[in-house]
């Protein structure tokens, strides 16, 4: 039994019901489905995948293997019927994902996941002699719009079962450098950025200019002090701290209030670009 986490931008109620039922039928247990929604689902997925894999470390014991599925498919038309799916292992933990360089960028940078195994759906289904799929069922899976329902769980199950799934090794492409981006806004309104504090010149006691918006949309610039942790930030005051995500990634916080609401920030915004207006991917 593998604990299964599924990060996906197909997260409406209907999709979640189908995903839970199909994965439950395959693995004997339903997944935890996490919605990668909002204006920048790739940034959310990248940071959340990194956090999921880092959470398997420092257990104090061997622990149990896990499976993480990730579905963020760029709708750029560059691939016939969508971007292919890939998989890789991080220690004893399996990740099956769309081959999306931006969604995989942080595990490449922080965990040195450089190589993945890319699969072709038709080739995999044609070689799957261990299944009782009919030719018509295989064609339907290969042609479906909802490949992350019909194919990705099968890929994860077959890899976990050590089936001889054909694949091609591929290097995760380097993505262009991005300015520090709000990837996740937690339930407290803390803005989790996709970079380490050192990337923006973080120094304890110093102040960095943070770009925000008024409710009317006008651009604001606020000098925000750097603190070592949340409890060092004065109450109801903005602060920049090394946060809980990534490898101590930067967070914009207000102790006792929502930094996202105060600065009117959203996922995809770039608040540490004082020379530019915040932009959303």
Q: Cα(279)–Cα(281) distance, rounded to whole angstroms?
A: 7
Q: Specify whether 23 is located in the same domain as 107.
A: yes
CATH code of residue 63: 3.40.50
Domain membership flag for residue 280: no
Q: Structural domain tally of the chain?
A: 2
- Would you mind telling me the total number of residues written for the chain in this entry? 281
What would the pLDDT profile of 128-174 be if each residue is shown by its tens digit? 999 999 999 999 999 998 999 999 999 999 999 999 999 999 999 88
Q: Cα(221)–Cα(271) distance, rounded to whole angstroms?
A: 9
Q: What is the model's pTM?
A: 0.93
CATH code of residue 205: 2.40.30.90
Which of 173, 184, 152, 169 minimizes the C-alpha distance to 50? 184
Q: Specify whether 186 is located in the same domain as 75.
A: no
Q: Cα(224)–Cα(271) distance, rounded to whole angstroms?
A: 11
The alpha carbon of 172 is separated from its chain's Cα centroid by a whole number of angstroms, namely 15
Q: Specify whether 104 is located in the same domain as 137.
A: yes
Give the structural domain span for 74.
4-171
Domain membership flag for residue 122: yes
Q: Specify whether 129 is located in the same domain as 237.
A: no
Domain membership flag for residue 88: yes
Q: Cα(67)–Cα(24) distance, rounded to whole angstroms?
A: 13
Domain membership flag for residue 279: no
Query: In which residue are the tokens 């099956």 written?
Result: 96
Q: Specify whether 121 is located in the same domain as 19.
A: yes
Query: How far apart, in Å, do the first and last CA atoms of the chain sit?
Result: 38
Q: Specify whether 10 is located in the same domain as 147.
A: yes
Domain membership flag for residue 166: yes
pLDDT band at 38 (very low <50, low <70, confident <90, very high): confident
Position 1 scores a pLDDT of 76
Domain end (from 171, 204, 221)? 171
What would the pLDDT profile of 237-257 be if each residue is shown by its tens digit? 999 999 999 999 999 999 999
């Amino acid at each position: 039994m593998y604990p299964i986490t599924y990060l996906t931008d197909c997260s409406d109620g209907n999709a979640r019901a189908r995903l839970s039922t199909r994965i439950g039928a395959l693995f004997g247990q339903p997944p935890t489905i996490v919605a990668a929604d909002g204006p920048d689902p790739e940034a959310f997925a990248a940071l959340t995948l990194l956090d999921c894999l880092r959470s398997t470390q420092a257990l104090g014991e061997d622990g149990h293997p896990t499976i993480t599925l990730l579905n963020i498919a760029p709708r750029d038309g560059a691939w016939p019927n969508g971007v292919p799916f890939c998989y890789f292992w991080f220690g004893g933990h399996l990740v099956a994902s769309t081959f999306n360089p931006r969604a995989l960028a942080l595990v490449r940078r922080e965990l040195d996941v450089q190589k993945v195994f890319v699969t072709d759906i038709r080739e995999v289904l044609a070689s799957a002699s261990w299944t009782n799929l009919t030719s018509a069922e295989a064609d339907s899976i290969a042609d479906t719009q909802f490949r992350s329902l019909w194919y990705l769980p099968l890929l994860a199950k077959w890899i976990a079962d050590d089936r001889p799934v054909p694949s091609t090794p591929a290097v995760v492409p380097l993505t262009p450098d991005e300015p520090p981006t709000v990837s996740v806004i937690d339930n407290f309104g803390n803005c989790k950025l996709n970079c380490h504090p050192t990337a923006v010149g973080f120094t304890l006691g110093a102040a960095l200019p943070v770009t925000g918006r008024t409710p009317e949309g006008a651009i604001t610039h606020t000098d925000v002090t750097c603190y070592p942790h949340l409890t060092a930030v004065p109450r109801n005051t903005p602060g920049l701290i090394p946060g809980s995500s990534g490898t101590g990634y930067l967070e914009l916080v207000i102790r006792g209030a929502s930094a996202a609401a105060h600065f009117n920030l959203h996922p995809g915004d770039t608040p540490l670009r004082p020379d530019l207006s915040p932009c959303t991917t």
